[in-house]
Structure 1
């Protein structure tokens, strides 16, 4: 008998085909089956979303296309996985097809049945039982945290100081799970790809290489397919990945760990703008699994959830081995000579570390040599012709590079506007910091009499395959005395020899228009401080230096005491008074067009259509404005903000708004997107 099935296919966010399509099938395929189906003139991969929907005779036969057949010998995706995708699509205002198909490895859609069979066979051959070699003894704080995870339902917020051994708690929680349930699976999320190798090494050491599979965007398509198949078949016991791994198919999922849960990298900024951290909490509830969110500086949303009793707070304030957190020293730059980059006391402290054979970390959140190249005779700046931003000067390859659209040119010999040869860099990036530190330490020597060695680690220096691992190995081996880098070096790394960390210019975030800027800065500084003194033998001499023009700012008072609770309380009080998240809920409608006028015309029409929509009486719609970086790659960008004291009201409004947004779309609009719970406004 011919049956009809509803199949989700890959569709854009605002396509008219946002719902599952009906296809005919001679086979009784279960919901969750992967199938090939015709869509227009091409054949695509789809997911059977609903089980058998009745006989085909109820619809005109010529209007129903037949499926091309199931996609190899792959077990159906579970109902919990489909419910996760449905929730994410609805909450983040995307189509089912966009979320569902983006969650599958790209190569899965391209392979035939024979190729898939070979892949599955290889995945089964690679699989093995997790075999734990025991870890170190637990501290009392670690043991208490683990006991709570074992006994209670959660969700849990593991609030542990840097170096308190949160990773060991994760390892033991997974170890106990696998010992208790032979076929159980665990999902461990990290915020960035560069943190994956070192954490993977810890898990492989404990559980064996074949029990752990990575899943992140830096993998090749064949690698991603292999990991996905192993997880979907239940053969991979532990999946370790970045935010995309939240959608991994794990039929026996029993534990989710979100390391550095505060990190903004868990929020997708393109396509379906989901928060992997928030979906982790939802998925754990859906699967009947436990979820552990870990951080030394939790997000204010998670901290407030503990205050309100929604999360269980687990505290580990002490460092493993009785090591102390570094002493925080503020340098008042108002008292330093004009144009000082590195204050004399800071340089003296770095020299002392070099002489003792210890390491220092200097970080600045700006890569490149200088933010801008400028002419001394006219007003020319190295702006990008395609974006409303400057191209950054990269001295190492003599280029001007836009960090927004990627447009790159060789540095001109003279000013393009007036011909003046006196063009010079303004401001400093990590490349320039590396160069100047090397000059300042030219006469500094290590205990063996060899010169001090300065190295840089940022998105530019780690661009080549294997470069990150090589640089990390050099730091761990003591081949680097002073490491210069962006915030990528302040997260999660266990540098045992670093005893000094310096923040050169952190003040720009203190007075930002972004209300989340102080939270991000405090988190960054606390995380950076945590890289120092991780070896208990050197902890008493470890220091965090902060060069600031505003040493009396209350943020630094909390930093000196390593007092996150005090900082969080002050920030939450300000947020509550201003009715800002987490005491209110936000969404942003963004528009892109060839002209700013068209973008804002669409947004204004969208705002005008708001009255009368469901929940509109509880939603405030702000006026459209250009985005901070108004133009990127010759595309003009604008946005409007929506705010509500009620999450359900905002969700109802957004769902009802979608049809009107389609109807007011003007000619010339390139794309538009809704960002729910935005981190950047």
Structure 2
């Protein structure tokens, strides 16, 4: 008697090898067990997916034997395997790709003996930390939200304004769960790595350091492995993490929190393009775990799914919990629109805004200036011949970074020193065009050079963006300087706009937000409203401080379109009105959430080859069942069509039925693999399917 073991391994992309590979074993291997198996000339890690007993005979196919079973580790349970299988099926990827990407990288390199030794070292008899008393008094809105959360099944959309105390609701929900079920586990997800440390500190303070682990890509491989093992064994009661944490092995999972659920960071943009938010909802249903999606500006999909029943409309699948008020006596910041049409040409910061910032500095308060463009200037240009700092490898400009005198492409990373003169005509007078956070920081420094703080010292301006936080520990030290009051004016990109609990900021300003109003991407207004609303939420969070200062929290927005409905709704902090308008427009246009989309993308050395492949794929789809219910748009180049000398094109598919779209995509996969072997597919470097794309 022998066993055929089906194993999920990470096969090469587009290899068309199928979801699992079969191996021989003399004994039954439990599904979910980690195994080491031969693949080509290598031995790789795999997950046993199924075991079949077979009689040896002349007709039997000779299979390679399994190398080793990592039996020191408990098998991955059926619920985890179901999650991986669903994600692979829905997002059109291979089973092994999803399964292996969900495991910590260091696990792939350990032998059975090494893993056993590591687990022996890690075992501890120390009990998990207890729950510290909750000293914070709940508001009536928080109490109501928690009461409904305990009484109803969900999933829940916690719609709470910035500063309404959503995090305390999460903490109380987790505390109630752990008190009720001694072995239960909770998963708490955040969109950005830089938000994890402050949330981790609050959870460890409340539940004890032994009960909480983090999972995100900023950790070292040994740290990720240790956290994953703690979650898998049940030793970690609470896992905090970014989108990758949705695949954490948690055998006693009973609660999932997705904070800032609207954030685009929950959608993976490389490899398997899954939505961690959507998978969290699916996983909660599969494992009978309650799910809370929290946001001050929910995604329109979640808002639509939480709509109450009305007339013939049965309503959405989610339960909406509302917390519209800030904690205590705090008021939402007053929104002031500055009409830049009335300002002198080339005005960067209006006189009224500068005066308002100056008043804050004089009183010892902090201001935040938000500009979602890093670097000194987006382009360096020659006025004589028209030369611009184009990237030779991408259809984009290289950004001028004055701090290190470089021209840097933010798409492929190509970097050069700034030329002394124009490379085309030799003109020495090449100049920056436009403005990034570096230049804004410099400009503010010049404007407030003569201004003094209340103690007589010079004004301190700090910048937080992807460039200033590149070094290890830089972000933490910069945030600490803001929290301690050392910084008077904080300049930054969207990194500073969300999640941070700055207690002394009373003014937030958005300098140039108009670009997204007229973007070709239909989701751009939704993202802009969310970003501005989140930015405004950084002002006036400490009601006692604002009151003691005799100040008013304000959000200033400089715009050429002050009458735009988006700004009108923002001025009233009226997300429901904004959402209603957007949803009406989307319904009329047949766009998500009233339709379902997927993109087929192709990369090639020339745009012609990429589009020819997509054209052939389009023609091949005609034969698929249900294709008449799927609209397939012509292939077009991406907005930035060339990156690192690779041309990129895409084709949009849209259907009123998610099930029909999924059937067509599944039937299309083998046809796409076949196309790679035809003349139309020969020059294609790679192709991918992006289901529920976030940007088009």
Is TM > 0.5 for Structure 1 vs Structure 2? yes
- Residue of structure 2 equivalent to 1:69: 68
Q: How far 1:21 sits from its partner (Å)?
A: 1.2
Picking from 589, 598, 604, the partner of 1:587 is: 598
1:142 correspondence with 2:142? yes
Provide the rounded CA distance (Å) in 1 between the counterparts of 2:58 and 2:234.
39
- Residue of structure 2 equivalent to 1:647: 658
1:283-322 alpha-carbon deviations (Å, 9 max, x no partner): 0000010000000000000000011230000000111112
1:81-139 alpha-carbon deviations (Å, 9 max, x no partner): 00000000000000001100111011101112332123323443286413112221111
- Residue of structure 1 equivalent to 2:219: 219
Superposed counterparts of 1:33-112, under 5 Å: 33-50=33-50, 52-55=51-54, 57=56, 60=59, 63-112=62-111
1:553-602 alpha-carbon deviations (Å, 9 max, x no partner): 11111001000000000000000000001101100000001111110110
1:7-52 alpha-carbon deviations (Å, 9 max, x no partner): 11111342221221111112221110000011111100011101x3
- Residue of structure 2 equivalent to 1:119: 118
Provide the rounded CA distance (Å) in 2 between the counterparts of 1:127 and 1:602.
59
Q: How far 1:251 sits from its partner (Å)?
A: 0.4
What SS class does the counterpart of residue 159 from structure 1 fall into? strand
1:522-574 alpha-carbon deviations (Å, 9 max, x no partner): 00010000000001021661000000001011111100100000000000000
1:262 correspondence with 2:272? no
What SS class does the counterpart of residue 246 from structure 1 fall into? helix
- Residue of structure 2 equivalent to 1:488: 495
Provide the rounded CA distance (Å) in 2 between the counterparts of 1:601 and 1:201.
53
What SS class does the counterpart of residue 508 from structure 2 fall into? strand
What SS class does the counterpart of residue 694 from structure 2 fall into? coil
Superposed counterparts of 1:265-664, under 5 Å: 265-307=265-307, 308-537=315-544, 538=546, 541-664=552-675
Provide the rounded CA distance (Å) in 1 between the counterparts of 2:118 and 2:585.
54
What SS class does the counterpart of residue 149 from structure 2 fall into? helix
Provide the rounded CA distance (Å) in 2 between the counterparts of 1:594 and 1:65.
38
Q: How far 1:70 sits from its partner (Å)?
A: 0.6
Q: 1:58 to 1:255 in 2, by over 3 A?
A: farther
Provide the rounded CA distance (Å) in 2 between the counterparts of 1:489 and 1:102.
30
Q: 1:55 to 1:504 in 2, by over 3 A?
A: same
1:600-629 alpha-carbon deviations (Å, 9 max, x no partner): 110000011111202101101000011110
1:140-188 alpha-carbon deviations (Å, 9 max, x no partner): 1111111111111100000000000000000011111111111100000
Segments of structure 1 that go 5 or more residues without pairing to the other structure are: none
Conserved in 1, the CA contact under 8 Å of 2:595 and 2:654?
yes
1:419-446 alpha-carbon deviations (Å, 9 max, x no partner): 1111010000000000000110111111
Q: How far 1:58 sits from its partner (Å)?
A: 5.7
Aligned length: 680
Provide the rounded CA distance (Å) in 2 between the counterparts of 1:384 and 1:60.
59
Conserved in 2, the CA contact under 8 Å of 1:359 and 1:482?
yes
1:242 correspondence with 2:242? yes
- Residue of structure 1 equivalent to 2:693: 678
Provide the rounded CA distance (Å) in 2 between the counterparts of 1:264 and 1:56.
51
What SS class does the counterpart of residue 671 from structure 1 fall into? strand
Provide the rounded CA distance (Å) in 1 between the counterparts of 2:628 and 2:61.
46
Segments of structure 2 that go 5 or more residues without pairing to the other structure are: 308-314
- Residue of structure 1 equivalent to 2:199: 199
TM-score (norm 1): 0.99
Conserved in 1, the CA contact under 8 Å of 2:91 and 2:274?
yes
Conserved in 2, the CA contact under 8 Å of 1:364 and 1:485?
yes
Provide the rounded CA distance (Å) in 1 between the counterparts of 2:477 and 2:237.
29
Provide the rounded CA distance (Å) in 1 between the counterparts of 2:523 and 2:450.
42
Conserved in 2, the CA contact under 8 Å of 1:400 and 1:411?
yes
TM-score (norm 2): 0.96
1:197-242 alpha-carbon deviations (Å, 9 max, x no partner): 1111110111111111010111111111111111101111100000
Provide the rounded CA distance (Å) in 2 between the counterparts of 1:12 and 1:408.
31
- Residue of structure 2 equivalent to 1:189: 189
What SS class does the counterpart of residue 328 from structure 2 fall into? helix
1:630-670 alpha-carbon deviations (Å, 9 max, x no partner): 10001010000001111000000000011111122211110
Aligned-pair Cα RMSD in Å: 1.2
What SS class does the counterpart of residue 435 from structure 2 fall into? coil
Provide the rounded CA distance (Å) in 1 between the counterparts of 2:64 and 2:266.
39
Q: 1:134 to 1:17 in 2, by over 3 A?
A: same
Provide the rounded CA distance (Å) in 2 between the counterparts of 1:227 and 1:13.
28
Conserved in 1, the CA contact under 8 Å of 2:595 and 2:656?
yes
Provide the rounded CA distance (Å) in 2 between the counterparts of 1:623 and 1:4.
45
Conserved in 2, the CA contact under 8 Å of 1:130 and 1:237?
no
Provide the rounded CA distance (Å) in 1 between the counterparts of 2:152 and 2:378.
50
Q: 1:423 to 1:359 in 2, by over 3 A?
A: same
Conserved in 2, the CA contact under 8 Å of 1:178 and 1:185?
yes
What SS class does the counterpart of residue 462 from structure 1 fall into? coil
What SS class does the counterpart of residue 467 from structure 2 fall into? coil
Provide the rounded CA distance (Å) in 2 between the counterparts of 1:255 and 1:505.
40
